[in-house]
Chains A and B, each alone.
Chain A
Amino acid sequence: MYDIKALYEAASVAEAIRLLQEHPRAQIIAGGSDVLVQIREGRRAGAELVSIYGIDALRGVTFDGEGAIRIGSLTSFSHIAASPIIREKIGVLGEAVSLVGGPQIRNIGTIGGNTCNGVTSADSASTLLAWDAVVELTGPEGIRRLPIRDFYIRAGVVDLRSAELQTAIIIPKAAYEGYFGHYIKYAMREAMDIATLGCSVNVALSDDRKTIRDARIAYGVAGPVPMRAPSAEAAAVGRPVCADTVAAFARAVLSDIHPRDSWRAARAFREHIAVELARRALTKSIELAGGALDG
């Protein structure tokens, strides 16, 4: 038995908001792969929970009117990876979430939980940041949308107001069209392990594929929350597609990131692999975009 004080089940978003208003101390449980483990560990023991797991309207990947990709917050990692829309438009997100835990975790874990937990090592987070994702939040005052980088406040804390829940993650058309990306998870094991460092890069090349039109890079575990590396991006945008550009881009990440020492890895080691992952992920992204480094 879990040490749960009370459980309230919502069948719709409106009901979830009402239950959260009626029970201001209650916490949201989606797939529960963080929440239930934390209850078991004692960190969240005795919690009141509002379960949103039954809200099927929050599942699925679709296009909205403007060609943006809309991922319902309850969509599981395995369903994201299997979605034809994700495979065609932002395959790297499917690849990134396929590196979460193991198969059973990918069936229960949701993308909403993976972002609302505010965890820097979350495998979807760096890719969502690197693709300028927008977070949709629904609460008593209605719907608001904000860029995912503003959603993260500090380690474990995101911009969720009282009685609000995350209802979707949106990738605008301008953010994905013409871009190609790659995610690298550096961990000690190939499955069932948390990232020591995660790096997600994407690029858009000029029509002749000789110039980098845009480059975006984000890290997990390079700071208290997932973060972009703007100096690296500036070092690549408008530059020719060549090994020197890639090297300058990779070196520049060191002015942006501030990883820490932890039992998983030392700061110096994380900095070392951050540069190497940036180099590899950009090289791969350029390749996917049809560019060639040797000319």
Chain B
Amino acid sequence: MDKSTGKQYKLIHCTVNGKEREVMVDVRASLTDLLRNDFRLTSVKKGCEVGECGACNVIIDGECFNSCIYLAVWADGKDILTLEGLEGPNGEISDIQQAFIDEAAVQCGFCTPGAIMSAVEILNEGRLLSDEEIRIRMSGHLCRCTGYENIFRAVKKTMLKRLEAGNRKQE
């Protein structure tokens, strides 16, 4: 604790989008604060900031978390993936991002990065989910524009495409 200011900091180590990072964090910071302010990862949106909307969703050690209700100090030792981490080596966007565009699952775009990260978690499981399961797994996101149906279609389409590509490889 810094006695003159009353502020308290902690040095943490974590991996962010594949890069190892070492950073001094204010213990009062949320992971959203850390990712946006220190790493300029502005795909991580500040929506409700109380865990309701999913706009700040990121993947930590393979699972989705709303970073607004996750303390930055807890990121110590963790592997964090944000939407920026989906970018290919030459700046290409990923299949799920392209599907969101193709299916008109993006309007204002505010919910999009968070929703895509939930889709990534699902797709990484590499299995076939029922429509009902996809809806449940995407239910932690509020979207005021699209009416959800296009988001659902983008996720399902990408899931089927990936499973088909996987099957072809096996043959």
Residue numbers of A with Cβ under 8 A of B are 1-4, 6-7, 9, 29, 32-33, 36-37, 40-41, 51, 53-54, 78, 101-105, 107-108, 190-192
Contacts and interface: CB of A to CB of B under 8 A. Distances in A.
B140 A108 contact: no
A53 B74 CA distance: 8
Nearest to B118: A103
B71 A7 contact: yes
B93 interface: no
Contacts of A104: 51, 54, 57, 64-66, 118, 140
Interface residues of B, number: 31
A36 B63 contact: no
Given A53-B74, A108-B66, A108-B69, 9 more contacts: A1-B29, A2-B29, A9-B10, A33-B51, A102-B140, A104-B64, A104-B66, A105-B140, A191-B139
B72 to A, nearest CB: 10
A159 B157 CA distance: 50
* Interface class of chain A by DSSP: mixed
13 contacts: A9-B73, A36-B51, A36-B71, A37-B51, A40-B50, A51-B71, A51-B73, A51-B74, A102-B54, A103-B139, A104-B66, A190-B139, A192-B139
Nearest to B62: A107
A107 B63 contact: yes
B71 A102 contact: no
A32 B50 CA distance: 11
Given A1-B26, A6-B1, A103 B137 contact: yes
